[in-house]
C-alpha cells in the first residue's frame, strides 16, 4: 500500500491523512547516529593515578563517587568532585591528578554521526551535576549483566551523552551539517581504512578534484582530510588493542602497516604510548 502524502505540518512533525504525526528529522537521522562503548569500569585509585599528557582516541565519561582529584587541561584546571559527571573529549590532552585517592565510574565511548565524532576537537572538558539516582542506577547496571541491565546501561550512557551534547548543541548541530556534506567521504574512509589510505585515493574514488576536496574539507572542518584519516586509523587501532587480545604484529598487519615497527611509531606519535604500553595502561585496569 502506498503511504498517503502529508497533509499538514506542525514544526518538525509531518501529519498524514491518517492523523499520524512523525518527526522527519528523527526518521532521517536516527540510523546514522551511533554510540559505541569501548570500555567501562568502577575505578578506585591512589597516587598511581597521577599521569601527565594523557590522550585517548575515545571520549571519556567520569561519574565521581568519592574522594577527589582534578584534571589539568589546556583551558585550565577542572576539579573532580563527588556528585558531578565529566566528559573529556576525544584527543584532548589532560594531566590526571589526585592528592590522595579517587573513586569513580567511567566509560570510554564514541558518539558518531556518519563517521564524524560529535565531541572530537572540543578544547575543554564538560561538567554537569549528576541527576538524582543516576549513579546508583549506573552502578547497578555495571555490576550485573543480564539483557535488562545491558539495555539500562546503554540507555544511561545515551542519557549522559545527550545531556553533555545539550551544552554544546549549536556546535554539534554544525558538525552534523558537516557530516551531511561529507557523507560520501567519511563512508569511503570507513570502508577502505588502512595505513596507505590518503586523500588522493578518496578524491579519485569519488570523482572529485583532490586539491578542491582537500581545500574545502580543511576550510569546513579545521583539519586536513589526511589528518582525519589518521585519526580514524588511530581510533581503530585503539579499539583493536582494547577489545581484542590479538598480537600487536597481527593488528599492524590487519591495518595495512608494512611492519610492527612502523605501526608502533605511527601510534606513539599520536598517543604518547606504544601500542603495547597503551594496551597495558588502558586494558589492564589502568583506567585513564
Length of the chain: 288
Residue written as grid cell 540507555:
155
Q: What is the CATH number of the domain that holds 164?
A: 2.60.120.810
Look up the domain containing 128 and give its range: 33-171
207 and 145, same domain (yes or no): no
**Residue-wise pLDDT tens digits, 8-36:** 877 777 787 778 888 888 888 888 899 99
Please provide the DSSP assignment of 91-160 as one string. Answer: T--EEEE-SS-EEEEEEEEEEEETTEESSTT--S-EEEEPPTTHHHHHHHHHH--SHHHHHHHHHHHHHH
Residues 43 and 95 in one domain: yes
In a domain, 278, yes or no: yes
Identify whether residues 243 and 191 lie together within a single domain. yes
Q: Are 115 and 82 in contact, with CB atoms under 8 Å apart?
A: no
Pairing of the two strands 84-88 and 76-80: unpaired
Q: How confident is the model at residue 62 (pLDDT cuts 50, 70, 90)?
A: very high
Same domain, 53 and 134: yes
Q: Are residues 143 and 39 both part of a single domain? A: yes
Using alpha carbons, select from 32, 35, 10 the residue that is nearest to residue 20: 10
Q: 50 and 139, same structural domain?
A: yes
The shares of helix, strand and coil residues in the chain, as percent rounded to the nearest 5, are 45, 25, 30
- Asked if residue 2 belongs to a domain, the reply is no
Same domain, 106 and 222: no
137, 171, 205 - which closes a domain: 171
Per the structure, how many domains does the chain have?
Answer: 2
Query: Residue 282: its pLDDT value, please?
Result: 77
Cβ(281)–Cβ(43) below 8 Å:
no
pLDDT at residue 1, as a whole number: 47
Give pLDDT tens digits for 99-139. Answer: 999 999 999 999 999 888 999 989 999 999 999 999 999 99
Task: Specify the pLDDT at position 24.
Answer: 80
Question: Based on the domain organization, do 163 and 46 belong to the same domain?
Answer: yes
Do 247 and 117 lie in one domain? The reply is: no
This model's pTM is above 0.75: yes
144-203 confidence digits (pLDDT tens): 878 999 999 999 999 999 999 999 999 999 999 999 999 999 999 999 999 999 999 999
What cell does 113 get? 554521526
Half-sphere exposure of 27 (CA within 13 A, CB side): 7
| pLDDT for res 30 | 85
Co-location of 151 and 44 in the same domain: yes
Taking the C-alpha atoms of residue 9 and residue 140, their distance in angstroms, rounded to an integer, is 42
Running DSSP on this structure, what letter comes out for residue 208?
A: -
Amino acid at each position: 500500500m502506498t503511504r498517503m502524502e502529508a497533509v499538514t505540518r506542525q514544526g518538525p512533525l509531518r501529519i498524514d491523512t491518517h492523523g499520524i504525526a512523525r518527526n522527519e528529522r528523527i526518521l532521517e537521522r536516527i540510523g546514522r547516529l551511533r554510540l559505541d562503548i569501548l570500555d567501562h569500569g568502577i575505578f578506585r585509585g591512589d597516587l598511581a593515578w597521577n599521569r601527565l599528557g594523557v590522550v585517548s582516541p575515545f571520549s571519556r565519561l567520569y561519574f565521581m563517587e568519592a574522594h577527589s582529584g582534578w584534571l589539568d587541561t589546556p583551558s585550565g584546571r577542572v576539579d573532580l568532585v563527588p556528585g558531578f559527571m565529566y566528559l573529556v573529549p576525544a584527543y584532548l590532552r589532560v594531566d590526571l591528578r589526585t592528592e590522595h585517592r579517587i573513586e569513580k565510574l567511567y566509560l570510554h565511548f564514541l558518539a558518531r554521526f556518519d563517521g564524524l565524532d560529535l565531541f572530537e576537537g572540543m578544547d575543554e572538558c564538560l561538567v554537569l551535576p549528576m541527576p538524582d539516582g543516576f549513579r546508583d542506577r549506573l552502578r547497578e547496571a555495571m555490576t550485573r549483566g543480564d539483557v535488562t541491565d545491558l539495555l539500562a546501561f546503554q540507555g544511561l550512557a545515551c542519557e549522559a551523552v545527550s545531556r553533555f551534547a545539550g551544552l554544546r548543541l549549536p556546535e554539534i548541530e554544525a558538525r552534523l551539517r558537516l557530516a551531511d556534506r561529507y557523507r560520501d567521504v567519511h563512508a569511503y574512509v570507513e570502508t577502505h581504512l588502512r595505513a596507505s589510505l590518503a586523500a588522493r585515493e578518496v578524491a579519485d574514488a569519488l570523482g572529485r578534484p583532490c586539491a578542491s576536496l582537500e581545500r574545502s574539507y580543511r576550510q569546513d572542518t579545521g583539519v586536513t582530510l589526511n589528518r582525519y584519516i589518521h585519526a580514524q586509523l588511530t581510533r581503530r587501532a585503539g579499539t583493536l588493542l582494547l577489545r581484542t587480545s590479538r598480537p600487536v604484529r597481527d593488528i599492524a598487519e590487519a591495518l595495512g602497516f608494512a611492519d610492527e615497527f612502523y605501526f608502533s611509531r605511527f601510534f606513539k606519535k599520536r598517543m604518547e604510548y606504544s601500542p603495547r604500553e597503551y594496551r597495558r595502561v588502558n586494558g589492564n585496569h589502568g583506567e585513564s
